[in-house]
Amino acid sequence: MSKHVLIRGGTLVTADDERRGDLLIEGEHIVAIGDSLAAPSGARVIDAGGAYVLPGGIDPHTHMELPFMGTVASEDFFSGTSAAAAGGTTMCIDFVIPAPKEPLIEAYRKWRGWAEKAACDYSFHVAVTWWDDTVHADMGELTRAHGVNSFKHFMAYKGAIMCDDEVLVSSFRRAGELGALCTVHAENGELVWALQQQVFEAGITGPEGHPLSRPPEVEGEAANRAIRIAEVLGVPVYLVHTSCIDALEAVTRARLEGQRVFAEVLAQHLVIDDSVYRDRDWDRAAHHVMSPPFRPKHHQAALWAGLASGMLQTTATDHCCFCTPQKRMGLADFRKIPNGTNGVEDRMAVLWHHGVRTGRLTPSEFVAVTSSNAAKIFNVYPRKGSLAVGADADVVIWDPNKTRTISAATHHQNIDVSIYDGMEVIGNPAVTLSRGRVVYEDGQLKTERGTGRYVDRPCHAPYWAAQKLRNRLAEVKPVERAVPEREED
Ligand code: URP
Ligand code: ZN
Ligand code: ZN
């Protein structure tokens, strides 16, 4: 079989520009881009006339087979990365989440083992859920020897994986020394805990209790706290799943002050509002229980504006699937409903349909927020997130007219319901290639277990984290003064 694929006659779109042309792949890499490229003998030629040719999507926030809230997420690394490919996403950055007291390196090795079945490329953020000297040392080893350049901090989930300010400060400082990026789930876990008890004791036991216990202020407070801690320590910070105006305002203010703050928004928070929790069907309401929760509708316009203006740089899914019997663990108590929703297959189409087709985003901006920006922030650019000679051939041929009505009956995600059930999206992948292999075509998945590879992400060059220069302690000298003599008792 020839190792060449020639994609002919499409509109090549990167975060920088759009141009008509051909793209030649040899083996796993893009080897030429130009006009009227000749097909090497035996090459497979794919006609992309009328279609866009895009860098494969990068989802910087997924949770495949995550053990969480007394169960395990139903999507494994093979089914999840296959579903991603069907939706045009060719790389996922998942999370290693050690249990408290579990050594980071041990947890990392466990997740690497689980992920060997992946069908597309992947990488890991590693969560810091507790602190001692071994965590300090493991963070060093993970950055030096295992290609980890980002550490995750859950400011919520008290009694499980939440870290308090002491852990945040220790970990942020250590990440700063290493040149790694701190990411945070920003919700005030103490407030969530208190509100959960209050709501439950008031007799609200169903899914409608979930958003009541996690209002936007809870996210805004934590977002601001994480950003301010990062500012004082002089380290960059990345907020995952920014869902509301309150958090977006904290991000915007910090960025306007020159702080290196990045923020992600989930596709679902852009298009689904909190009315889902009042659905009279318990299962349907419970399938929307995720954190942060869906918000009142007016937050959506602000999030779209944040994306269009560059205040929010990336889009993700937080793909964390639980099937109906798992969600029913919380039938009598909303606090026990496993938190998480699907979407790894749907993000690109939802963003195209609601973003590009409405004029909120240009095709180049779409590429930036679905792929290139994540590649840059997490330091795999231009190997990923670009169409460039030498880059990995993670490529999507995107048909702007292909229509799909999202349904759990036809999707490839390993979950019996979709939060997008019934939504029509125009603009979908026709063909997806992962490192030169066709993994999705004509509606058919062609992924193979274990063909995905782990992607090393080295720490950024030191100037990227140069805000550490703002560390006030470094600039201040002790005051020279006469010290009064101590009076004897
Ligand atoms: O509800 C969610 N988001 N579940 C996954 C864990 C997390 O908070 O990211
Ligand atoms: Zn989270
Ligand atoms: Zn998550």
pLDDT tens for residues 106-151?
Answer: 999 999 999 999 999 999 999 999 999 999 999 999 999 999 999 9
Indicate which residue's Cα is closest to atom 5 of ligand 1. 340
Which ligand 1 atom sits closest to the C-alpha of 63?
5
Kindly tell me the sign of the dihedral angle through the C-alpha atoms of 359, 360, 366, 370: negative
Indicate which residue's Cα is closest to atom 8 of ligand 1. 291
CA 63 to ligand 3 center in whole angstroms: 6
The rounded Cα 374 to chain-centroid distance in angstroms is 8
Supply angle C-alpha 423, 428, 429, rounded to 5: 145
Show the tokens assigned to 234.
């002089």
Indicate which residue's Cα is closest to atom 1 of ligand 1. 290
**CA separation for the pair 368, 363 (Å, rounded):** 9
Pocket of ligand 1 (CB under 6 A): 63, 185, 290-291, 318, 320, 339-340
Which ligand 1 atom sits closest to the C-alpha of 154?
8
Indicate which residue's Cα is closest to atom 9 of ligand 1. 318
Return the residue matching tokens 């999202």: 406
395 neighbors 56 (Cβ within 8 angstroms):
yes
Torsions phi, psi of 68, nearest 5?
-155, 135
Kindly report, residue by residue over 35-85, the tens digit of the pLDDT: 999 999 999 999 999 999 999 999 999 999 999 999 999 999 999 999 999
121 neighbors 392 (Cβ within 8 angstroms):
yes
> For residue 468, is pLDDT > 80?
no
The residue to mutate among 59, 61, 63, 327, having the most atoms of ligand 1 within 8 angstroms of its beta carbon, is 63
pTM: 0.97
CA 13 to ligand 1 center in whole angstroms: 32
Half-sphere exposure of 128 (CA within 13 A, CB side): 35
31: confidence class by pLDDT, cuts 50, 70, 90: very high
**CA separation for the pair 299, 295 (Å, rounded):** 6
Dihedral, 320, 325, 327, 328 alpha carbons, nearest 10: -170
The residue to mutate among 74, 266, 276, 291, having the most atoms of ligand 1 within 8 angstroms of its beta carbon, is 291
187 neighbors 219 (Cβ within 8 angstroms):
yes
| Helix (H) / strand (E) containing 190 | helix 189-201
Indicate which residue's Cα is closest to atom 3 of ligand 1. 291
Which ligand 1 atom sits closest to the C-alpha of 61?
9
The residue to mutate among 318, 322, 337, having the most atoms of ligand 1 within 8 angstroms of its beta carbon, is 318
Indicate which residue's Cα is closest to atom 4 of ligand 1. 340
> Average of pLDDT values for 146-160?
98
Q: Which of 308, 196, 208, 293 is nearest to 243 (CA)?
A: 293
CA 403 to ligand 2 center in whole angstroms: 31
CA 3 to ligand 3 center in whole angstroms: 37
Torsions phi, psi of 295, nearest 5?
-110, 160
> Average of pLDDT values for 169-173?
96
Show the tokens assigned to 131.
């602190």
Kindly tell me the sign of the dihedral angle through the C-alpha atoms of 460, 462, 464, 468: positive
Cis peptide before 325 (omega within 30 of 0): no
Q: At what angle do helices 133-145 and 165-178 cross, to 10 degrees?
A: 30
Pairing of strands 52-55, 4-13: parallel
> For residue 467, is pLDDT > 60?
no
Cis peptide before 292 (omega within 30 of 0): yes
Q: What is the pLDDT of residue 477?
A: 83
> For residue 97, is pLDDT > 70?
yes
**CA separation for the pair 83, 74 (Å, rounded):** 13
**Counting every residue, how long is the chain?**
489
